[in-house]
Amino acid sequence: MSASPDQPPSLPPPIVTTRGDRRTLEFTPGDIQSEMRLSRPDALVLPYARAMMCFALLAPRPRHILMVGLGGGSLVKFCRRRFPRARITVLEVRADVIALRAQFQVPPDDARLRVLHCDAADWLARAGAGEPDAPGDVDVLLVDGFDAAGLPPALASAGFYAHCRRALRPGGVLVANIFTYDPAYVSAVQRLQAAFDGQVCWLSGIAGNNQILLAQRPSLPGAAPGRALRFLRDTLGNRGLGSALANRLLARLVLAWLAWRPQRR
pLDDT range class, residue 134, cuts 50, 70, 90? low
pLDDT at 3: 45
pLDDT range class, residue 34, cuts 50, 70, 90? very high
Secondary structure of 142-182 as H, E, C letters: EECCCECCECCHHHCCHHHHHHHHHHEEEEEEEEEEEECCC
Which contacts qualify for 25-29: CB closer than 8 Å, 24 or more apart?
A: 25/71, 25/72, 25/97, 25/100, 25/104, 27/1, 27/146, 27/148, 28/148
Neighbours of 13 (CB within 10 A): 11
pLDDT at 263: 66
Q: Is 119 a catalytic residue?
A: no
pLDDT at 8: 47
Percent of the chain predicted with pLDDT > 70: 91
> Who wins on pLDDT, 31 or 88?
88
Query: Which residue in the list 6, 144, 147, 234 is annotated as catalytic?
Result: 144
Q: Any residues with CB less than 8 A from the CB of 36 and at least 6 apart, and which?
A: 22, 23, 24, 45, 72, 73, 74, 104, 105
Which of left, alpha, beta for 5 (phi over 0: left; psi -120 to 50: alpha)? alpha
Look up the pTM and report it.
Answer: 0.93
* DSSP 8-state assignment for residue 111: S
* DSSP 8-state assignment for residue 92: E
pLDDT value at 41 more than 50: yes
* DSSP 8-state assignment for residue 251: H
Contact 69, 2 (CB under 8 A): yes
Cα–Cα dist 42/17, whole Å: 18
Compute the 3-state secondary structure of the chain and give helix, strand, coil in percent, each to the nearest 5. Answer: 30, 25, 45
pLDDT value at 113 more than 90: yes
Which domains are delineated in the chain? 42-260 (3.40.50.150)
> Which DSSP helix (H) or strand (E) runs through 194?
helix 185-195
- pLDDT tens per residue, range 241-259: 999 999 999 999 999 999 9
Candidate from 6-20, 135-149, 180-194 with smallest mean pLDDT: 6-20
* DSSP 8-state assignment for residue 32: E
Neighbours of 9 (CB within 10 A): 5
Cα–Cα dist 193/29, whole Å: 34
Cα–Cα dist 38/125, whole Å: 37
Cα–Cα dist 63/52, whole Å: 17
